[in-house]
């Protein structure tokens, strides 16, 4: 890929199963570090990982060879196993996820958004946040899956 140039950045969002508050403050930072390491292990770049007790946001860079569905499956599989083994026996991710393309000019804005998750969620619940993200990106959705 010496003559292949790309800029493939994504804002990945995933909730815990039934939006249970599994990701506790005591181990949250370690979990985010683990997620970042797993992204690297899968050949991606974790530019920022953050979130709150019931969901995670990650700003990731991928290569053209990555398949987003495969990447997400492996990320969720590895991180749920680690969380269940090390911190929260009941930990599980929800079945789905959200992912949005991020242009190079928006990387810093998304990074700051992820850094501000704790403050952000003092004002807005996850369901409202994900609705806003889906609408801002022009994604059609069925509200029954957001409950």
What's the pLDDT tens digit per position in 113-132?
A: 999 998 988 889 999 999 99
| Spatial contact of 42 and 74, defined as CB atoms under 8 Å apart | yes
Give the span between the Cα atoms of 43 and 65, in whole angstroms: 10
Give the span between the Cα atoms of 101 and 36, in whole angstroms: 18
Q: Name the DSSP letter for residue 24.
A: -
Tell me the residue range of the domain where 140 lies.
8-145
Domain CATH code at residue 113: 3.30.70.1290
Q: State the angle between helix axes of 25-41 and 68-86 in degrees (0 to 180), rounded to the nearest 10.
A: 140
In a domain, 27, yes or no: yes
In a domain, 2, yes or no: no
Give the span between the Cα atoms of 131 and 55, in whole angstroms: 14
Average pLDDT per block of 10 residues along the chain, 147 residues long:
88 96 97 98 98 97 97 98 97 96 98 94 91 95 85
> How many domains does one find in the chain?
1
| Spatial contact of 28 and 76, defined as CB atoms under 8 Å apart | no
pTM score, two decimals? Answer: 0.93
Q: What is the pLDDT of residue 144?
A: 85
Mean pLDDT (the chain, rounded): 95
Dihedral angle computed from the Cα positions of residues 37, 43, 49 and 54, in that order, rounded to the nearest 10 degrees: -90
In a domain, 138, yes or no: yes
In a domain, 19, yes or no: yes
What's the pLDDT tens digit per position in 52-69?
A: 999 999 999 999 999 999
In a domain, 55, yes or no: yes
Strand 98-102 vs strand 55-62: parallel, antiparallel, or unpaired? unpaired
In a domain, 3, yes or no: no
In a domain, 139, yes or no: yes
Structure tokens at 127: 């369901």
Give the span between the Cα atoms of 124 and 65, in whole angstroms: 36
In a domain, 23, yes or no: yes
């Amino acid at each position: 890929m010496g003559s292949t140039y790309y800029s493939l950045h994504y804002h990945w969002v995933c909730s815990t199963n039934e939006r249970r508050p599994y990701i506790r403050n005591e181990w949250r930072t370690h979990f985010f570090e683990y997620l970042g390491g797993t992204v690297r292990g899968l050949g991606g770049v974790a530019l920022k990982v953050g979130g709150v007790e019931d969901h995670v946001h990650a700003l990731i860079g991928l290569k053209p060879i990555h398949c987003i569905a495969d990447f997400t499956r492996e990320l969720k599989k590895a991180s749920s196993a680690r969380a269940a083994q090390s911190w929260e026996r009941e930990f599980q991710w929800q079945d789905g996820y959200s992912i949005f393309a991020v242009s190079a000019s928006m990387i810093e804005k998304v990074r700051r958004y992820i850094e501000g998750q704790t403050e952000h969620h003092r004002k807005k619940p996850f369901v409202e946040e994900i609705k806003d993200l889906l609408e801002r990106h022009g994604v059609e959705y069925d509200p029954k899956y957001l409950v």
